């Protein structure tokens, strides 16, 4: 019997990717709204992708320090189920976005040190979920989706009062080890299921979901 680990596949750009993600048994499909990313999608593209998603697959809109006008444009056109805030949004901004759209908000937090782990507490009481990811270097073009892991020992036996998701450099080969070590019940991947930046590999998506649910 497969485990109940919930998987998010991020950075989808083609309707057939969304279909494979759902068929493989993932819980979340992520769409990246960040022009510098090789996974960036327009509002119109995302609208098509959301249509391709069957009931039960949660559609997550990933934004980075987005203003209300941009969030409104996404919210008006795309049937999303959750926001993922992947910039330096404050806890107050998380609360504001929750109230404005009435949708759950997942706050991404980059981790490299114990101090970064402590900073997660600032968001744990306000966000609906946390995405705990590798920390990008200051000034990096991409704050996430870099295919690099952090030291998983930093989050072993940690407790937060809301659900959390492990991310950063996960692959079909290492995801089960990461789950067993950290106790994560949710995992997220982008680069580890790609053949090139922004190009998803359908076989790797299936392999990742299967490995996470072993
Ligand atoms: O994926 C992107 O291009 C991206 C761009 C800007 C902000 C965040 C981004 N990705 C965030 C994700 O949720 C990724 O899935 C997560 O960082 C893990 O990525 P990876 O290490 O490549 O699996």
The DSSP line for 18-59 is HHHHHHHT-SEEEEEE-TTSTTB--HHHHHHHHHHSPTT-EE
- Indicate whether 53 pLDDT > 90: yes
Note the pLDDT tens digit of each residue in 140-153: 999 999 999 999 99
- Indicate whether 102 pLDDT > 80: yes
Q: How far is the CA of 145 from the centre of ligand 1 (A)?
A: 3
> Which tokens is 106 given?
């997942």
> Is the beta carbon of 167 within 6 A of some atom in ligand 1?
yes
pLDDT confidence tier of residue 3, bands split at 50, 70 and 90: confident
In this prediction, does ipTM exceed 0.90? yes
The pLDDT score that the predictor gives to residue 159 is 87
- Indicate whether 1 pLDDT > 80: no
The pLDDT score that the predictor gives to residue 131 is 98
Annotated catalytic residue 133:
yes
3-state secondary structure of 81: coil
DSSP string, 92-121: HHHHHHHHHH---EEEEEEESSHHHHHHTH
Q: How far is the CA of 52 from the centre of ligand 1 (A)?
A: 21
CA dihedral 77, 166, 173, 113 (to 10 degrees): 130
What the chain holds in terms of domains, given with CATH numbers, is 6-212 (3.20.20.70)
- Among the options 4, 133, 151, 188, which is catalytic? 133
Closest CA to 211 of 190, 182, 183, 180: 180
* DSSP secondary structure letter of residue 135: P
Note the pLDDT tens digit of each residue in 13-51: 999 999 999 999 999 999 999 999 999 999 999 999 999
3-state secondary structure of 175: helix
Ligand 1: which atom is nearest the Cα of residue 143?
A: 7
Note the pLDDT tens digit of each residue in 158-182: 889 999 999 999 999 999 999 999 9
């Amino acid at each position: 019997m497969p485990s109940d680990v919930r998987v998010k596949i991020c950075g989808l750009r083609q309707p057939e990717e969304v279909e494979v993600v759902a068929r493989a048994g993932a819980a979340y499909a992520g769409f990246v709204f960040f022009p510098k990313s090789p996974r960036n999608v327009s509002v119109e593209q995302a609208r098509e992708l959301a249509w391709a998603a069957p009931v039960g697959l949660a559609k997550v809109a990933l934004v980075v320090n987005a203003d209300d006008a941009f969030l409104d444009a996404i919210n008006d056109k795309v049937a999303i189920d959750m926001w993922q805030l992947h910039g330096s949004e404050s806890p107050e901004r998380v609360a504001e976005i929750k109230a404005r759209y009435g949708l759950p908000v997942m706050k991404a937090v980059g981790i490299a040190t114990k101090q970064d782990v402590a900073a997660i507490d600032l968001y744990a009481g306000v966000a609906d979920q946390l995405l705990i990811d590798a920390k990008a270097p200051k000034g990096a073009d991409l704050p996430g989706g870099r295919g690099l892991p952090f030291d998983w020992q930093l989050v072993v036996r940690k407790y937060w009062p809301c659900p959390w998701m492990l991310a950063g450099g996960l692959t079909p080969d290492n995801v089960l080890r990461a789950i067993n070590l950290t106790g994560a019940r949710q995992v997220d991947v982008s680069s580890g299921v790609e053949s090139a930046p922004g190009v998803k590999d359908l076989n790797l998506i299936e392999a990742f979901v299967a490995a996470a649910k072993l």
